[in-house]
Structure formats: structure tokens, C-alpha cells
Amino acid sequence: MPVMALHELHPFCEAEIALLPAKAGVYVLFQIEVAVHVDSTANLRQGLRAAKAKFPYASHFSVETPDPQALLPRVRQLRNELRLVRTASFVGR
């Protein structure tokens, strides 16, 4: 199973999601190259599939798998660094 890094953008499609490990991680959703959502999940595959339903217009994603106890601090750090300019309504239905 390949390790995906947060700096790598992947198309937000089932084929790419299927490559994800079934372990905890942080993910960032993008619309084109603009970060629109950051979150963490206990299972990256399941979490990204659920996010696909909530953010159908997101076009790309990136993930990382930090130490499980670092998930929430990492999400807070990324949200601050990325200064998300959009909300769920931007990429939602």
C-alpha cells in the first residue's frame, strides 16, 4: 500500500480512495487547488467516502497519517495554516 503525503494532490474519485489505508489520518479536500475542508478520521477510506457524499464538488484530496494522538492538533494546525476561505456550502450541494 503506497504512503500518501499531505503535499500530494489526488483526484477525489473512488479509485484513488480505494488506495488509502484503513487507518487513522488527516485529510484535506480541495476544489481545484483551493483547500476547502480539513478533518481527521479513524479510517481514511471510510472517512473519505463519507466526505465524498458531503462535498460532492471537491475535486482533489490529500492525506497524512500522523500518530493517532496527534490527529486533532494536526487538524487545528492545518486549519490555521490553510486559512480555509470557503465553507461546506461552497463545495456542498
The domain segmentation of the chain, as residue ranges, is 10-91
- For residues 6 and 93, give the distance between their C-alpha atoms in angstroms, rounded to a whole number: 26
pLDDT tens digits, 4-56:
566 789 999 999 999 999 999 999 999 988 889 999 999 999 999 999 999 99
The structure's pTM equals 0.82
User: Which CATH number does 10-91 carry?
Assistant: 3.40.1440.10
